[in-house]
Structure 1
């Protein structure tokens, strides 16, 4: 993974472990065009990084500070960035509460995807800070007088050895396809929360980790403003976000990931409106489920007057699964391996210095993502979350992991209580943004960054802050989104929305929304029955490659049985037709990760050139 890796050890001289540290860095060089760099190598602390040409990594070294920034502060040129970083470094002195107050204000006003490292040479203090949304996933291990921080879990694993898996995290992964909160799949290896500061006092051998703030979605600051004013202001912020990102990467090729959805066309409309040059790219998957998206993407490309590359994909092979396993360590589930040949082709076409622009985030901030009904208590919230987000059932997870159903629910309950919101409906919104958004989608974006820079204007902190302060009533039924998109490009809003097969401006679309609203208010049991009748879930066949590979994993790696019931896995493999493909793929991601880390090999390699269908 391109990015920084840091070690602090107050018990051992790190210079005596230089070979191990360099080997650990080498394990992050996944492609030939990667390189590593040693930035600091001292007795008790080490800072290194891996990167490729065009990946944003810079540092400042003066008499007072050594500063390193991975990523970008958008809207600020190199000179202004240096001024901002020096200002930031000087605000980090003092009691932690004062630092948090000043840092909170700075983060909420600083648009960027970044991790910042600051060494104060005068007071021998180190601070590591991420942006307000934690856009670049960062992982850490904190032991006795030791801290390891890295953009990739594999670096930490190489250094601490004897890594174990977190049983509760595995259960949560089987439930949602991502662990919750700070958890990763690995015991004692955490993910740094957004807007967090790691403070290390070298003189006192002290290590502190403090969250600076969390968003509270109860408050809707702009609820009294009319929908036209809110839409217009959001367009202004979106324009600024797109221009600032373009200014930050002026000598790069802008490639828009264009689909039939609303989010990518919104980005395209904004880029065109601001005369920002870009090309489009989309794919036709091997089973042609994206045919409608491709058709609509072509229509949009004509409106934007851009070239569109349609890349036809073959079925994913074992080598694609293996590559994704190694670069994301199970944190991006292996079914997404089909996208890797798409990225390879983009690199082949556009070479280096690519900016891959997506519409990620639009579905979170311009839609009403709250529950379809009023939730009155914590139990209702938990039931709603599970019903609308689960992969495996709680009963099946309990049999697979040995974790009792009530233990899993209690853990989820305590996590939800920690959210700052008082309203249960807004706690659900917090769950969707902080858990599904930050854990599922951000890991997907990070997968993209292994190939080239991946950015989205929807995660501009100013845009997010404003959008989440608009009332949910304005977002319902796409009301706010319609005005937002129509403001930027009325023609783009008249093109079919792939999810509905019609434009969002049509009367038929409003009727469709009404029917869906009625359906969503039906009892859960009735909705489940209707869904089963309307569309039978797609399952894997008994002799599918993934089923065969799973069987081989059970034979080759006894460690899988330490975390999951082999008997229950066998039951699943013997009856794959009663499980959705997503269920099998989620289980496969877990077993593959356990095998890779515990057995230091992967059965997937035996299926390198075989299609996973």
Structure 2
């Protein structure tokens, strides 16, 4: 991945350690034009950035301060950014009590995807902070002797002296598909939370990490406004968001599907008279034909050039490349999308902005559950059951942690959120965990190829839409008016996921049926209690034989897996793969492949580079409704 690498030694013994951060990136280089540049070094720390030439970085340097900006700040010019960052840095280094509040206010006012590194040349103090949504994943660890920070998880894994795996995070990952908090799968290596501030005082041998802002989604300041008033403001903010992002780009490409989110971004680009091209991929099973047809109709209305890119089935080479790019932070089952990203890079180079509708499926819709929670335990149980990849009892045996401890950890995460209402705590979990963790890591995958941006995570837009009452978002009521104000013709084009225009009678009927199907069935419940209702036979799942063979060889040859997982548990899974969904096996395979790659320095996937590891026919639904929301 492109981005900064930083190492600080409190004892000044930098020489023996700095090669990990200065030479390390070249060992994992996948693209010939990645280089170590912008290196800065003192007697006890070194900073470098491993990137391709078009990747955005900026240096602000004077007699007092050295500031390194990775990423983009969209709504301020260069002179303003320079002035404001220097003002913030001086406050952080001199006014501990008030600095956090000033930084918080600035982060909530600025729109960007960025990381900022600051060094006070006079005092030697250092500070790093990121944007309020944490759009560029940044990882760190610190010990008594050193602090290391990097955009690439493997650099830290190689640098840490006693590498271990965090099996509680592993349990969460295998349960819901991502680590919902700041922990990673590696023990003592963390992800810097959104609006995070890391400070180093070398003279006092001290490192501190804090969050200067946490959103409270219980606050709904736009409750008194009508749906139309809120939709009108959202249309204005969306237009400003795409304009700010397009102004810093030589060219704009829109990832277009038949869904609502990408067409809304396209409508905003069109309304702002911003030239752009669109691109849509055809999945390898050709299961998205309606999606393609809708995207073609949208592109015609928006009068933009439209490329349709067919993809082939993913191979071991695709899996391995994604593993090396994101080091297990991306689910390997999505690796077929690398073909699409590579196509765009070959056609357009790297000097463009890739617009997506990422985030709209979480913040623009009503994601409240159709349940009432009496207490925190009920909410915790619901989250653990709702999207589990493995049954909790089996997962507990596999990672050798009790189900109660796994649930308690999820409960503590929920308790850390500022909301009191349990439904709003669930929304915080979904937005902070799924959207600002899983989706952000998906966006970061794209940044390996070129810069990507989504106006749904424009800070003004995000704050406004999260302040709208959930009831207005129900059944896409807000979304329909919002899209209508941007481009009314796009409302009539079917929403591909339900084969009907949003807000139509068919759409409303679909939403009603979906809600009713989630209601408890009292008759079935009573019959089961009386043992008069037979339990359904467990489904039999079909998997790629090459994938199962690769997974089996990995389990047999990578002995380190037995140090963390139950060997009987792994053997049970690989001996009876038909009992598990494709996505469950691939999530587990992602984790075990990361461990094999880190510990053995190689991957079993190297034996299967040309093998077809695709999901067999009939298994596409999960990809369509879960993974494709990432929009590459």
TM-score (norm 1): 0.96
Q: Distance in 1 between matches of 2:538 and 2:18?
A: 56
Structure 1 residue 289: Cα displacement: 1.9
Check the 8 A contact 1:264/1:358 in 2, yes or no. yes
Structure 1 residue 452: Cα displacement: 0.6
Structure 1 residue 202: Cα displacement: 2.4
Structure 1 residue 354: Cα displacement: 2.4
Q: Which string of whole-angstrom CA distances, capped at 9 and with x for unpartnered residues, describes residues 289-325 of structure 1?
A: 2222111111101011111111111110101100111
Q: Which string of whole-angstrom CA distances, capped at 9 and with x for unpartnered residues, describes residues 218-269 of structure 1?
A: 11111111111111111111111111111122x2x21100001100000000
Q: Which moved more, 1:135-144 or 1:345-354?
A: 345-354
Give the structure 1 partner of residue 613 of structure 2: 612
Give the structure 1 partner of residue 461 of structure 2: 463
Matches within 5 A, 1:336-415: 336-415=334-413
Structure 1 runs (4+) deviating above 4 angstroms are: 523-527, 532-538
Structure 1 residue 574: Cα displacement: 2.1
Check the 8 A contact 2:154/2:598 in 1, yes or no. no
Matches within 5 A, 1:146-225: 146-225=146-225
Give the structure 2 partner of residue 308 of structure 1: 306
Unaligned runs of 5+ in 2: 529-533, 615-632
Give the structure 2 partner of residue 602 of structure 1: 603
Q: Distance in 2 between matches of 1:15 and 1:551?
A: 42
Give the structure 2 partner of residue 297 of structure 1: 295
Q: Distance in 2 between matches of 1:92 and 1:162?
A: 33
Structure 1 residue 525: Cα displacement: 11
Q: Distance in 2 between matches of 1:359 and 1:508?
A: 24
Check the 8 A contact 2:134/2:194 in 1, yes or no. yes
Give the structure 1 partner of residue 9 of structure 2: 9
Give the structure 2 partner of residue 540 of structure 1: 542
Q: Which string of whole-angstrom CA distances, capped at 9 and with x for unpartnered residues, describes residues 479-533 of structure 1?
A: 1111100110111111010111100132221122122222222359979x9xx99
Check the 8 A contact 1:256/1:268 in 2, yes or no. yes
SS at match of 1:509: helix
Structure 1 residue 599: Cα displacement: 1.3
TM-score (norm 2): 0.93
Check the 8 A contact 1:145/1:206 in 2, yes or no. no
Give the structure 2 partner of residue 87 of structure 1: 87
How large is the Cα RMSD of the aligned pairs? 2.0
Q: Which string of whole-angstrom CA distances, capped at 9 and with x for unpartnered residues, describes residues 407-435 of structure 1?
A: 11111111211111111000000000111
SS at match of 2:15: helix
Q: Distance in 1 between matches of 2:80 and 2:56?
A: 16
Q: Which moved more, 1:125-134 or 1:367-376?
A: 367-376
Q: Distance in 1 between matches of 2:538 and 2:25?
A: 46
Check the 8 A contact 2:177/2:587 in 1, yes or no. yes
SS at match of 1:40: strand
Structure 1 residue 535: Cα displacement: 13
Q: Which string of whole-angstrom CA distances, capped at 9 and with x for unpartnered residues, describes residues 4-39 of structure 1?
A: 111111124213434343222323532112111143
When residues 445 and 39 of structure 1 are mapped into structure 2, their CA distance, relative to the original with a 3 A threshold, is: same
Q: Distance in 1 between matches of 2:536 and 2:340?
A: 32
Give the structure 2 partner of residue 280 of structure 1: 278
When residues 222 and 417 of structure 1 are mapped into structure 2, their CA distance, relative to the original with a 3 A threshold, is: same
Give the structure 1 partner of residue 510 of structure 2: 512
Q: Which string of whole-angstrom CA distances, capped at 9 and with x for unpartnered residues, describes residues 522-570 of structure 1?
A: 359979x9xx9999978334x6111101110112110011111222222
Q: Distance in 1 between matches of 2:84 and 2:163?
A: 39
Structure 1 residue 174: Cα displacement: 0.6
Q: Does 1:590 align with 2:588?
A: no
Check the 8 A contact 1:539/1:581 in 2, yes or no. yes
Q: Which string of whole-angstrom CA distances, capped at 9 and with x for unpartnered residues, describes residues 124-172 of structure 1?
A: 2111010001000000011113110001111112222442111111111
Q: Distance in 1 between matches of 2:355 and 2:546?
A: 33
Which of 492, 498, 501 is equivalent to 1:500? 498
Structure 1 residue 406: Cα displacement: 0.8
Give the structure 1 partner of residue 242 of structure 2: 242
Q: Which string of whole-angstrom CA distances, capped at 9 and with x for unpartnered residues, describes residues 173-199 of structure 1?
A: 110111121111101100111001111
Check the 8 A contact 1:15/1:42 in 2, yes or no. no
Q: Which string of whole-angstrom CA distances, capped at 9 and with x for unpartnered residues, describes residues 324-376 of structure 1?
A: 11111111011011101111111111123121110001112111112112222
Q: Distance in 1 between matches of 2:512 and 2:395?
A: 36
Check the 8 A contact 2:538/2:579 in 1, yes or no. no
Q: Which string of whole-angstrom CA distances, capped at 9 and with x for unpartnered residues, describes residues 438-477 of structure 1?
A: 2211111101110111110000111111111100111111
When residues 538 and 85 of structure 1 are mapped into structure 2, their CA distance, relative to the original with a 3 A threshold, is: farther
When residues 277 and 368 of structure 1 are mapped into structure 2, their CA distance, relative to the original with a 3 A threshold, is: same
Check the 8 A contact 1:175/1:397 in 2, yes or no. yes
Structure 1 residue 83: Cα displacement: 2.3
Q: Distance in 1 between matches of 2:417 and 2:371?
A: 20
Give the structure 2 partner of residue 559 of structure 1: 560
Q: Which moved more, 1:62-71 or 1:203-212?
A: 203-212
Give the structure 1 partner of residue 127 of structure 2: 127
Q: Distance in 1 between matches of 2:3 and 2:156?
A: 13
Structure 1 residue 61: Cα displacement: 0.9
SS at match of 2:323: helix
Q: Distance in 2 between matches of 1:154 and 1:590?
A: 14
When residues 517 and 533 of structure 1 are mapped into structure 2, their CA distance, relative to the original with a 3 A threshold, is: farther
SS at match of 2:68: strand
Q: Does 1:44 align with 2:25?
A: no
Q: Does 1:332 align with 2:333?
A: no
Check the 8 A contact 1:231/1:484 in 2, yes or no. yes
Structure 1 residue 77: Cα displacement: 2.4
Q: Distance in 2 between matches of 1:569 and 1:29?
A: 32
SS at match of 2:199: strand
Aligned residues: 607
Q: Which string of whole-angstrom CA distances, capped at 9 and with x for unpartnered residues, describes residues 47-76 of structure 1?
A: 110111221111011011100000111122
Structure 1 residue 607: Cα displacement: 0.2
